[in-house]
Amino acid sequence: MTKNQRDVNSGVNRSFGRILLCNDDGIDAVGLRVLRAIAHSLSDDVWVVAPVQNHSGASRSITLRRDVEIKDVAHQEFSVSGTPADCIIFAVNKILDKRPDLVLSGVNHGMNVGDDVLYSGTVAAAMEATLAGIPAIALSQQGGRENREEYQVAEAHGASLVQHLWNSGWPDRLVPNVNFPKGDPDTIKGMMVSTTDQHKFGDIIEDGAKAGHFRLGPLISKPDASPGSDRAAIRDGWIAMTPLGMDLTAHQQIFEFEPLSF
């Protein structure tokens, strides 16, 4: 991240330019309404481009071989009949008249922690923005569903946390992944920089509504959280922030493989 992208002095409150919002829970999601409030407290130029329906678990998929419909649903708000990654692509290249300065993705209905981030459409939208050279943050709320009261921690601390990250700055091709714990906002200790825990969705297969139809069953959460991980931070009353890298190369192991010549 270059200095002309933002002031890296964490002691200075920078004013925000254009902020683009996206999510994976859909244009009508409660978490997106929470994110609108957070963004409007930081900027007068806020845009929303979000999926028309829920795309949880879509990861970084994009829509190929079919049309994507874009609808103007309100002032500077658009729905897209595609994935979260589609929303960022169409926002930057079709909908907006100029690029945003920051993308905020979320606030997701539930946590995006551990290995689950590989499935997350919320994280995927932030990564797609990062690929386009736009700073982006993914935000999720533990326990968040349809009741706005479940987002008290995100509402209380979201704006100051985004401001803190923005002032501090972060390198290119990196996505801060933020997870808010549930509970009383006044009991939250602060933000803890954490690792991703080794934890994924449970692979339980249940029968579907018809013969030959099936669905993924209840999610399984392992009881223990690894020290220093995102799940441990949330358990202990911290907002977890995990820096996610875009480079999937295992650089430390790259020389352990012998080349092959033909």
Peptide bond into 107 cis (omega under 30): yes
Instruction: Render 87-101 in DSSP notation, one character per residue.
Output: HHHHIIIII-SS--S
Q: Is 56 annotated as a binding residue?
A: yes
Let me know how long the chain is.
262
Q: Is 67 annotated as a binding residue?
A: no
Q: Is 108 annotated as a binding residue?
A: yes
Q: How many CA atoms lie within 13 A of 65 on its CB side?
A: 1
Task: Give SS3 for 163.
Answer: helix
Direct distance between the N- and C-terminal alpha carbons of the chain, in angstroms, rounded to an integer: 41
Q: Is the dihedral of CA 252, 257, 261, 262 positive or negative?
A: negative
Torsion angles phi and psi, residue 25, rounded to 5: -90, -5
CA distances 68 to 64, 89, 128, Å, are: 9, 11, 17
Q: Is 120 annotated as a binding residue?
A: no
Give the residue ranges of the annotated binding site: 24-25, 56, 108
Give the residue ranges of the annotated binding site for a divalent metal cation: 24-25, 56, 108
